Structure 1
Amino acid sequence: MANLLEVEGLWAGYGDASVLEDISFSIESGASLALLGRNGMGKTTLLATLMGATRQTRGKLRFGEHDLAAMPSHRRAHVGLGWVPQERDIFPSLSVEENLTVVARPGAWDLRRVYQTFPRLQERRSNMGNQLSGGEQQMLAIGRALMLNPRMLLLDEPLEGLAPLIVQELLRSIETMVREGSMAMILVEQHAHQILPITQNALVLERGRVVHHGASTALAADPAALDRWLGVAGH
């Protein structure tokens, strides 16, 4: 299968400071990547760079037939990148349904399918965004990104700070999306043991550089590597 995303020799950061140094990897259409590393190692910066929210100083970024480096950030969603940032950024004064439909683009992901994936959102479709729990807000943020019908979904720590039951619910939904393979996915998460079983490949960043890139199953089976790069084996 052809590569959807190609990152080659990427350097990027904020202002004059480089956070990412010589990053190279690729993702095929429909494939999934666990993006791992300790706090402050560049994971969020990498997603932000894909969305055009940092200063790219060197390297190539290709998404399908598009040169992302030459594309303004507001156009990247239109070519198929869906981003769910840590802050969620839902519209607090719009209802759940309005949050979902205000950004909708034609495709397989519509209101019916989002509600099937996240039944809680259908139950609360008339609630305002600021009336939802943290877990429900996260579901809404993911659902809103899906309504863009992206070719690739970028999830930045979607499980952070959520109750265990909500975490399991979200993990099941994410795993289903990965299995369907209708879109590629990059999933940032602190807890490797939660996402290595549901992703195909893993990339580990340390001080803004790639220190590991390979199959998720192989990394999950290597406690010494997990301990070296993430601090605690698998956790």
Structure 2
Amino acid sequence: MTDLLTVDKLTAGYGESVVLEDISFSLKQGDSLALLGRNGAGKTTLLVSLMGITQRHGGSIRWRGNDINPMATHKRANAGLGWVPQERYMFPSLTVEEHLSVVARPGPWNIKKIYDIFPRLEERRSNMGNQLSGGEQQMVAIARALMTNPSLLLLDEPMEGLAPIIVQDLAQVIRKLISEEGMAVIVVEQHAKLALSMTQNAMVLERGRIVHQSDSVSLMADTATLSRLVAVS
């Protein structure tokens, strides 16, 4: 099976400032990856580099075998990369349903399917973006990315600042996307054990470099390594 995503010796950053150095990994369709590391390790920079937002200083990113380095961000989204940034970017003048329909692309994900996994959004379908709780806004952000019908979903701190019950609900949705929908997912999450419980594989960054790669179960069991790399108590 051809890799869905192949990152080879990627070095990238902002302007002349290098944040990521010599990053190499690959994902196949349906793979899931927990991207871990302390604050400032380069996790978000890696996600936005995949979307073409940073300055690439070396290496390559290939999508379905094709070089996407020259591609603009919107073209990467059209090709199948779905990005859910930390900032949820709610539009106060749009309803929940308008947030979803305005980005819709052909494919299996439609309004009905979104409401099946996020019934709360169906209840709030006529509410404006600024009338939603933080948890509801995060549901909209994930649902909006799904409406583009991506093959790979990039989740940047999806649980940040949310109530525990909402965290549980969103974690179940992410697990379902991976196990039942066969979607490839990269999740950046400060709660390392939660991220590992949702994914098949793990990668830890430190100062912009990969310092650990393994399956998630092994890293979860290796508490000493987990504590050393990401300060998990």
* TM-score normalised per structure 1: 0.97
Matched residue of 2:78: which SS? coil
Q: Distance between the aligned counterparts of 2:171 and 2:145, measured in 1?
A: 16
Which residue number corresponds to residue 139 of structure 1?
A: 139
Written as runs of structure 1 = structure 2, the 5 A alignment for 1:158-177 is 158-177=158-177
Q: Is the 8 A contact 1:61 1:68 kept in 2?
A: yes
Letter in 2 for 1:42: G
Which residue number corresponds to residue 107 of structure 2?
A: 107
Q: Distance between the aligned counterparts of 1:219 and 1:90, measured in 2?
A: 35
Letter in 2 for 1:160: E
Q: Is the 8 A contact 1:31 1:181 kept in 2?
A: no
Does structure 1 residue 53 correspond to structure 2 residue 56? no
Q: CA deviation at 1:181?
A: 4.5
Q: CA deviation at 1:91?
A: 2.0
Q: Distance between the aligned counterparts of 1:197 and 1:36, measured in 2?
A: 13
Letter in 1 for 2:123: E
Q: CA deviation at 1:72?
A: 1.4
Q: Is the 8 A contact 2:61 2:67 kept in 1?
A: yes
What is the aligned-residue identity percentage?
62
Q: Distance between the aligned counterparts of 1:68 and 1:50, measured in 2?
A: 9
**May I ask how many residue pairs the two structures share in their alignment?**
233
Q: CA deviation at 1:74?
A: 1.9
Q: Distance between the aligned counterparts of 2:150 and 2:99, measured in 1?
A: 17
Letter in 1 for 2:44: T
Letter in 2 for 1:179: S
Matched residue of 1:48: which SS? helix
Unaligned runs of 5+ in 2: none
Does structure 1 residue 150 correspond to structure 2 residue 155? no
Written as runs of structure 1 = structure 2, the 5 A alignment for 1:56-95 is 56-95=56-95
Q: Distance between the aligned counterparts of 2:104 and 2:64, measured in 1?
A: 21
Which residue number corresponds to residue 218 of structure 2?
A: 218
Cα-Cα RMSD: 0.9
Unaligned runs of 5+ in 1: none
Q: Distance between the aligned counterparts of 1:92 and 1:33, measured in 2?
A: 33
Written as runs of structure 1 = structure 2, the 5 A alignment for 1:3-82 is 3-82=3-82
Matched residue of 1:3: which SS? coil
Q: Distance between the aligned counterparts of 2:199 and 2:103, measured in 1?
A: 27
Matched residue of 2:150: which SS? coil
Which residue number corresponds to residue 180 of structure 1?
A: 180
Letter in 2 for 1:77: A
Q: 1:181 to 1:225 in 2, by over 3 A?
A: farther
Q: Is the 8 A contact 1:50 1:68 kept in 2?
A: no
Which residue number corresponds to residue 118 of structure 2?
A: 118
Q: CA deviation at 1:66?
A: 2.7
CA shift digits 1:163-210 (9 cap, x unpaired)? 011001101111111102432110000011112112000000000000
Q: Distance between the aligned counterparts of 1:15 and 1:145, measured in 2?
A: 28
